[in-house]
Structure 1
Amino acid sequence: MMHHNKTVDTIPYQKLPLKGQFSIFEVEHFHSDLAGLPHRHHDFQILWLTKAKGEHVVDFVTYDMEDQMIFLLRPGQIHQLPESGMFGFSITFTEKFYFSNKHDRESLYDFTTLFDDTQEYAPIRISNATATNFSMLITLMRQELSIQLEGSSSSVIKHLLNAFLLLAEREKKHNVANSPALLHHDARIIELRRVVEKHFRKEHQAAFYAQHFALTAKRLNEITREAIGKTITDMIRARLILEAKRQLAFSHRSVKEICYELGFEDPAYFSRFFRQHTSTSPHEFRDTMFK
């Protein structure tokens, strides 16, 4: 459980040492005023823990940390780590850094499927063999950061990061319960996630998102099922529930206010919607957060 006394509007974005659009640092050497507190990041973060104990809370779910484990965090996810007892590396990067042009989107691994918050979130256990490969890739990326040759260094780092992410995906598939339902790569999924993030509070119908792609809702649902094993409606519902949980846990807004902010017209319907997808009422969920 997240222990806090902040509201969702003031949950801070942790400032990470980001050289341009990308950085790597050893977690044991990084000190922050936010250590042990709920916080979030503007960028994508790979947290590879080579040695760790304690609990890591990510969007209201508590995970026991283990040696050789990776956590993948999307921008805006609220998480809370112990103040100490962790060793390993944090890799942070922006989507703009990774997909800097059209060729990148067509040729590089779509890392957003690995970070996909429409899947059931879970950390990835890393084998010793993959840990060795990760170490080599991190060494090479850090060398490129130190060289900083104009133009070429970013390209080299991007492709080393691409290899790192592909190895992480391979390890994830070894954990059958955590395997992403990725059946078919479709670059439109990247854009769809961005559109959902921008409009989910006001637009709850699949037809709105289908119109963005000049498709029918039926066709868009076929595309999302093929790519991530879920419908566009599933994606919208999951995002609404997550935001409702964040507001209930980190704000003093009433359930009625949260209902209207998330685009629902009837507080009673909103409460039924929340219970249907969480097996608890909004008031009960809020009470558990403050026990």
Structure 2
Amino acid sequence: MLVNKSLDIPYQQLPFDGQFNVAQLGMFRNELTDQPHRHDHFQIIWFTKGKGRHMVDFVWYDVEDNMIFLLRPGQVHQLDCEREGYFLSFTEQFYFTNKHDKETLYDFTTLFDNWHGYGPISVGSSTTASLQGLVDLMSREKNYAPNCSRGIVKHYLNAFLLLTEREKKRNITETMMPLTHDARVVHLRRLLEQHYHCEHQVAFYANAFALTPKRLNEITKDGTGRTVTELLHDRIVLESKRNLAFSHKSVKEICYELGFEDPAYFSRFFKNNTGISPQDFRDMMFK
């Protein structure tokens, strides 16, 4: 079971100074690293060697050698493993400093949009040396004080992200049934992230695409294997779990914050989707 005696889950700030960091996993340990915590920035964890498990948003994943986990701001995670490798952390402001960057640099947010569902990325042997070389280059440039170039680091990071995306696509091709890639699915994911706490009707999201709910469901089903309602419910349940496990908010407060008017209905919704009541889930987390 997850244990967090403080109840309020902390946000772990960027290590060291600045909006970018790269370091070996073994060098970054404190009282939070092996406890459930979350970050207010993007993070890439590359296990060059690993044995054990890694929890991301209440789901445990087995850790293997040459495996990458991508974490968005706000995702809860916990390490329970032997590990060697690297972590890279950066803010969106670091990567996109101006409009020109938006137009010329890779939009990494698509890489972190898990429109196929969340999962670690296994890195092929042919890509390992390239990623290692880029990590070495980023580390060398970052430590080239006081003459470190943000632009050089960003371009090394850009190359790292592109290689990671290619590995992610290879993983999906090898391990999952073929699904249609549609940019509208990525955009839908972003709309859900923005409005899940107040908009619970498929019609709202369909109107954003000038589509009928039925047609948007068809597109979403082809792209993810799930309907709009299923994706929406998944996101609401995830946020409910985060709040139940790591905040002092009452079930009623969580209910209202997530756009439900009736706490009893919210409790039924949560139990229908998880098999357990909100209060029982909270109690279970702190046994």
User: Normalising TM by the smaller chain, what interval?
Assistant: 0.7 to 0.9
**CA 1:35 to 1:206, structure 2 compared with 1: closer, same or farther past 3 Å?**
same
In the alignment, the residues of structure 1 paired with residue 178 and residue 107 of structure 2 have an alpha-carbon distance, to the nearest angstrom, of: 13
Choose the corresponding residue for 1:40, options 38, 41, 51: 38
In the alignment, the residues of structure 2 paired with residue 148 and residue 197 of structure 1 have an alpha-carbon distance, to the nearest angstrom, of: 38
The residue aligned with 2:259 is: 263
Matches within 5 A, 1:134-173: 134-147=131-144, 153-173=149-169
- Matching of residue 95 in structure 1 with residue 92 in structure 2: yes
How large is the RMSD of aligned CA atoms in angstroms? 3.4
TM-aligned CA deviation for residue 60 of structure 1 = 0.7
TM-aligned CA deviation for residue 228 of structure 1 = 5.9
Question: Structure 2: 5+ residue runs without aligned partners?
Answer: none
Question: Structure 1: 5+ residue runs without aligned partners?
Answer: none
**CA 1:28 to 1:177, structure 2 compared with 1: closer, same or farther past 3 Å?**
same
TM-aligned CA deviation for residue 138 of structure 1 = 0.8
SS in 2 for 1:40: strand
Matches within 5 A, 1:117-266: 117=114, 119-147=116-144, 153-175=149-171, 176-177=174-175, 183-185=181-183, 189=187, 193=190, 196-205=192-201, 216=210, 218=212, 221=216, 225=220, 229=224, 233-266=229-262
In the alignment, the residues of structure 2 paired with residue 14 and residue 69 of structure 1 have an alpha-carbon distance, to the nearest angstrom, of: 22
- Matching of residue 4 in structure 1 with residue 9 in structure 2: no
TM-aligned CA deviation for residue 17 of structure 1 = 2.4
Asked if the contact 2:24–2:84 (Cα under 8 Å) also holds between the matched residues in 1, the reply is: yes
**CA 1:21 to 1:285, structure 2 compared with 1: closer, same or farther past 3 Å?**
same
**CA 1:102 to 1:238, structure 2 compared with 1: closer, same or farther past 3 Å?**
farther
Asked if the contact 1:173–1:180 (Cα under 8 Å) also holds between the matched residues in 2, the reply is: no
Q: TM-score, normalised by structure 2?
A: 0.81
Q: Read off the aligned partner of 2:168 and give its amino acid letter.
A: K
SS in 1 for 2:234: helix
Name whichever structure is richer in strand by fraction.
2
Q: TM-score, normalised by structure 1?
A: 0.80
**CA 1:287 to 1:33, structure 2 compared with 1: closer, same or farther past 3 Å?**
closer
For residues 102-132 of structure 1, give each alpha carbon's deviation from its aligned partner in whole angstroms, at most 9, with x where no partner exists. 3433443332232225542111112222111
For residues 263-291 of structure 1, give each alpha carbon's deviation from its aligned partner in whole angstroms, at most 9, with x where no partner exists. 10122322332234334433443343234
TM-aligned CA deviation for residue 4 of structure 1 = 2.3
In the alignment, the residues of structure 2 paired with residue 235 and residue 255 of structure 1 have an alpha-carbon distance, to the nearest angstrom, of: 22
- Matching of residue 275 in structure 1 with residue 271 in structure 2: yes
- Matching of residue 111 in structure 1 with residue 88 in structure 2: no
Asked if the contact 2:9–2:247 (Cα under 8 Å) also holds between the matched residues in 1, the reply is: no
TM-aligned CA deviation for residue 24 of structure 1 = 0.3
**CA 1:278 to 1:114, structure 2 compared with 1: closer, same or farther past 3 Å?**
farther
